[in-house]
Amino acid sequence: MNIIICGAGEVGYNIARLLSDEKNQITIIDHDEKRIEHVSSKLDVRTLIGYASHPNILKEAEADKSDMIIAVTQSDEINMISCQIAQALFSVPIKIARVRSEAYNIEEWRSLFDTGLFAIDALISPEYEVAKSFTRLVAVPGAKDLISFDDDLVRLIEINLGEDCPVINTPLNQLTEIFPDLGARVVYIVRDEVGFIPNKLSEMLPGDDIYVMAESNRTERVLSVFGKETARARRIVIIGGGRTGLRVAKSIEENEPQSMITLIESNVNRAESIADELNKSVILNGDALDKEILEEANIAQADFTFAVTGSDEINTLSAILAKKYGCHSSAALLSEDRYSPFVSSLGIDAIVNPRELTVSRILRYVRKGKVFQVQSLRNGEAEVIELEAIESSVLIGVPLRDKPLPDGVSIGALIRNKSVILPTGSTTIEVGDRVIVFAKHDFITEIEKIFSVGIGFY
């Protein structure tokens, strides 16, 4: 595919990195020469210096020959105008824009982008995706992350295994023998920062991060088997009342109404402002690194602390302090990767990366096939893809044991007529099945070939 990426920041760079590895033709545009120099020195892509909203720049980028434009600059308005011009002057088929401002994302105005007045096929709000991630953690404490598929019929659950996990050193093929009603299978294991797709003889060790595909109604049972508590979180402390913190609080108020939220914001004017926008959250003005403020927030009785300021350093320290002063679990919003390898050893239970969430939403429109959802994991190391099996797929009607998949690929689950099937060697895939595939990044093109379709689904 020929793809134009507008914006060479963290999201633009990582999208370009992933897609250029897959032999797509990438042109990346940014008005900042230093960012363009960084991209040029790291990636084999075409670069242009200029504003992506200028028609002459898009013409120089050969927008008339492009299949897709991905606008992820720091300016919402430039992103929207870039898509508009890409459609009006160059008829680019797929147009994706990141729009972060709350003014555009509130429910009253969000339908504006569904009217056809704006030439945007996919509107992405990182804050919205982040809020969904933190809300999932409230709903399923004990998990590091949770991704749901097909109206939440099946879930991919990330769990960190402790020394007290009951199934440590148990071969995976024995799990179903020991727990015949488990309704789950382990599809990926990360050990010492190295990820691999396990086989039936693989064992799990303390400290492993595992990804489990499970029927949603078995979530509590699965967490219990892997040694995790399943009581829903009630007391939530949110550190940071910026755009992200406010959206997280609103999302939890709406989706987890039984929760009691205390939000800490250092700026007094901002604290007063968000107090008017939240219905039942308690707002404290102060420094979340101050022990007295944390005590006022009753941190020792909190089930979860979410550190969501604009600083990775403050979020990391806040999450550590929350645990030190008695909070049961903590999660940090981390925009960069500097601290990620140390998170578990620091006692932080989960991290949420807005860049990775944004990249995942974009990849849904890039992947070939009839794709419903894509989730990028571990900075692009692997992906989980929900797609529809069509007649041209080589897997249709053949037992999976007769069509061995590459070592870097695993089929986690099938959904057929709203029923979940955890596949075995005798399972056959039928036309119309929703297939949830787990794949290492190097094997993505293999997945696209296996589930290949015509250009109409690009």
Q: What is the DSSP letter of 404?
A: P
Instruction: Report helix, strand or coil for 221.
Output: helix
Q: pLDDT for 231-290, tens place per residue?
A: 667 899 999 999 899 999 999 999 888 999 999 999 999 999 999 999 999 999 999 999
Q: pLDDT for 81-94, tens place per residue?
A: 999 999 999 999 99
Structure token digits, residue 79: 């992103």
How much is the mean pLDDT over the chain?
Answer: 89
Cα angle 14-19-23, degrees, rounded to a multiple of 5: 145
Q: What integer pLDDT is reported at residue 454 of this predicted model?
A: 37
* Of the candidate ranges 91-95, 342-346, 354-358, 372-376, the one whose mean pLDDT is the lowest: 342-346
* Per-residue confidence band for 452, with pLDDT thresholds at 50, 70 and 90: low
* Stronger pLDDT, 112 or 171, i.e. the higher one: 171
Query: Rounded to whole angstroms, what are the CA distances from 310 to 144, 238, 241, 258, 314?
Result: 21, 13, 10, 27, 8
Q: pLDDT for 46-81, tens place per residue?
A: 999 999 999 999 999 999 999 999 999 999 999 999
Q: pLDDT for 378-431, tens place per residue?
A: 888 899 999 999 888 888 998 999 988 888 899 999 999 999 999 988 999 999
Amino acid identity for residue 99 in this structure: V
Q: What integer pLDDT is reported at residue 456 of this predicted model?
A: 35
Taking a C-beta distance cutoff of 8 angstroms, is the pair 159, 224 a contact?
A: no
- Looking at the chain, the whole-number percentage of residues with pLDDT higher than 90 is 57
Q: Which residues pair with 6 in a beta bridge?
A: 29, 71
Phi and psi (nearest 5°) for 267?
-90, 125
Nearest to 236 by CA among 285, 293, 292, 307: 307
Give the C-alpha separation, 161 to 354, whole Å.
24
CB burial of 352-376 (b: ≥16 within 10 Å; e: otherwise) equals bbbbbbbbbbbbbbbbbbebebbbb
Q: What integer pLDDT is reported at residue 109 of this predicted model?
A: 65
Q: pLDDT for 296-327, tens place per residue?
A: 999 999 999 999 999 999 999 999 999 999 99
Q: What integer pLDDT is reported at residue 290 of this predicted model?
A: 92
Torsion angle in degrees (nearest 10) through CA of 126, 127, 132, 135: 150
Global pTM reads 0.82
Give the C-alpha separation, 248 to 241, whole Å.
9
Q: What integer pLDDT is reported at residue 50 of this predicted model?
A: 96
Nearest to 322 by CA among 344, 343, 303: 303
Sign of CA dihedral 208, 374, 138, 417: negative
Q: How many other β-carbons are positioned within 10 Å of the β-carbon of residue 227?
A: 17
Q: What integer pLDDT is reported at residue 231 of this predicted model?
A: 67
Q: What integer pLDDT is reported at residue 457 of this predicted model?
A: 36
Query: Rounded to whole angstroms, what are the CA distances from 34 to 30, 38, 44, 52, 175?
Result: 9, 6, 17, 16, 52
Give the C-alpha separation, 451 to 293, whole Å.
54
